[in-house]
Amino acid sequence: MTYILANGGKATVEVIGNRENSRGNGLEVPGKFVVKGQYHSTEKGHSLIKDYCRRNPCKFDQQG
């Protein structure tokens, strides 16, 4: 998300679940993110997020 925001993108999040600490790494709040911005920054940011989720267990669903 930092890459997207730093390159002029905007993001909103809708909380969709209860907070939890399932992995013991701190507070986790499930959310649905909506990202808007120039294609080059949002596409690169999307790629970075997917790479992160491949290395770290997290839920990542792409819609639209």
pLDDT tens for each residue of 4-39? 888 888 888 899 888 887 777 778 888 888 888 887
Residue 32 CA to residue 14 CA, distance in Å, equals 5
Q: Given this model, what pLDDT does residue 59 score? A: 61
- Say if CB 59 and CB 23 are below 8 A apart: no
Over residues 41-55, mean pLDDT:
81
> Is the backbone of residue 32 left (phi > 0), alpha (psi -120 to 50) or beta?
beta
Residues 31-41 have pLDDT tens digits of 888 888 887 77
Q: Given this model, what pLDDT does residue 64 score? A: 45
Q: How far is CA 2 from CA 5, 14, 31, 46, in A?
A: 5, 18, 16, 11
Q: Given this model, what pLDDT does residue 62 score? A: 55
Over residues 49-64, mean pLDDT:
69
| Domain coordinates in residue numbering, the chain | 2-55
